[in-house]
């Protein structure tokens, strides 16, 4: 699929304490540390925006001669108001919407520039992330997303996609599927109140529902994961812990390895900047490694296996 060798993939965002997008970014040495942690386990990385963090990561990969290939995205901001956003985001003034559209175009231009400058590292491109799903706080109409796809395809040689929850692909993104080179879906059983015993079957249902609808279009899983903590916001705390994350990761990898489905697990490291200030906010706890870079349960076993080789 996509002309790449089968290998494991992971979503990477390396923001640590006191760092966040638009503020303080990870340093060269911090990114290098992260990449050396990930190198034994994953070949393909996914990053969400063509920002300073992505540029540092590309620089480290090239200078340190690391064996990674990168899916790079442009994180497009809201160009329409979405009053259905359950946490009250997604509402902008007309001026803000205009500014967001201008910012998005500059991001698309930057995505193209980096794709051409780092064509030896960047193997595929995405023009956005979860911008069409009904609950998003950064809504962009699917027709505008399609325009962005066309722009990138015309100016860069890498395959182009749009990363989105599996549901919109089933009913509102049919036109977009004709433009993207492959479909990218997100599947999160735990966000949909599924217990760990139901999780893999539910993920398979999500994936194959899209495959059946578009049998001639490649489908990639660009996000699938299991949180390890929750304050009860959207996820039952009893459904998340390191043991369940380990079970989901190992079952998901066994299935996708066997079927050769490119799957980016979400995510490498916990990110303290995400979500609310509450320490147990689930958005902060999806990493396979904690914020101090110590491995959670699933990666402890992998570390021991690697060291014993």
Q: What is the mean pLDDT of residues 205-214?
A: 98
Q: Does residue 306 surpass a pLDDT of 70?
A: no
As a whole number of angstroms, the distance between CA 130 and CA 147 comes to: 16
pLDDT classification of 308: cutoffs 50, 70, 90? very low
pLDDT classification of 141: cutoffs 50, 70, 90? very high
Longest Cα separation, the chain: 59
Q: Does residue 1 surpass a pLDDT of 90?
A: no
As a whole number of angstroms, the distance between CA 94 and CA 98 comes to: 6
As a whole number of angstroms, the distance between CA 24 and CA 16 comes to: 9
The tens digit of pLDDT for each residue in 110-136 reads 999 999 999 999 999 999 999 999 999
Average pLDDT, the chain: 95
- Please say whether the beta carbons of 228 and 242 come within 8 A: yes
The tens digit of pLDDT for each residue in 214-269 reads 999 999 999 999 999 999 999 999 999 999 999 999 999 999 999 999 999 999 99
What pLDDT, on a 0 to 100 scale, did the predictor assign at position 304? Answer: 44
As a whole number of angstroms, the distance between CA 214 and CA 266 comes to: 24
pLDDT classification of 303: cutoffs 50, 70, 90? low
Q: What is the mean pLDDT of residues 52-71?
A: 98
Provide, rounded to the nearest whole percent, the portion of the chain with pLDDT above 70.
97
Give CATH superfamily name and number for 9-307.
Answer: Glycosidases (3.20.20.80)
CA distances from 68 to 35, 57, 75, 128, 300 (A): 9, 10, 21, 22, 22
As a whole number of angstroms, the distance between CA 281 and CA 297 comes to: 20
pLDDT classification of 88: cutoffs 50, 70, 90? confident
As a whole number of angstroms, the distance between CA 13 and CA 30 comes to: 11
pTM: 0.96
The tens digit of pLDDT for each residue in 3-15 reads 788 999 999 999 9
Looking only at the bridges linking them, the beta strands covering 69-73 and 219-224 are unpaired
As a whole number of angstroms, the distance between CA 224 and CA 190 comes to: 10
């Amino acid at each position: 699929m996509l002309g790449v060798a089968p290998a494991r993939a992971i979503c990477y965002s390396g923001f640590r304490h006191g760092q966040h997008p638009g503020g303080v970014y990870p340093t060269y040495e911090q990114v290098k540390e992260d990449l050396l942690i990930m190198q034994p386990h994953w070949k393909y990385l996914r990053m969400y925006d063509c920002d300073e963090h992505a540029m540092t990561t590309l620089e480290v990969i090239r200078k340190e001669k690391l064996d990674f290939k990168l899916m790079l995205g442009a994180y497009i901001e809201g160009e329409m108001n979405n009053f259905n956003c359950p946490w009250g985001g997604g509402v902008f003034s007309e001026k803000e919407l205009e500014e967001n559209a201008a910012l998005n175009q500059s991001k698309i231009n930057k995505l193209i520039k980096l794709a051409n400058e780092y064509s030896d590292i960047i193997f595929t491109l995405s023009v956005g992330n979860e911008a069409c799903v009904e609950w998003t706080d950064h809504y962009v109409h699917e027709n505008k997303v399609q325009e962005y796809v066309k722009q990138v395809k015309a100016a860069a040689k890498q395959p182009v996609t749009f990363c989105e929850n599996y549901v919109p692909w089933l009913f509102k993104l049919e036109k977009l599927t004709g433009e993207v080179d492959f479909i990218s879906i997100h599947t999160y059983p735990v966000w949909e109140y599924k217990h760990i015993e139901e999780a893999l079957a539910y993920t398979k249902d999500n994936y194959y529902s899209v495959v059946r609808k578009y049998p001639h279009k490649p489908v990639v899983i660009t996000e699938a994961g299991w949180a390890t903590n929750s304050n009860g916001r959207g996820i039952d705390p009893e459904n998340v812990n390191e043991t369940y994350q380990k079970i989901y990761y190992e079952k998901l990898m066994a299935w996708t390895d066997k079927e050769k489905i490119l799957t980016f697990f979400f995510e490498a490291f916990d990110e303290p900047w995400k979500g609310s200030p509450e320490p147990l906010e689930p958005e902060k706890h999806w990493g396979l490694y904690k914020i101090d870079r110590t491995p959670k349960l699933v990666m402890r076993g992998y570390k021991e296996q690697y060291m014993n080789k």
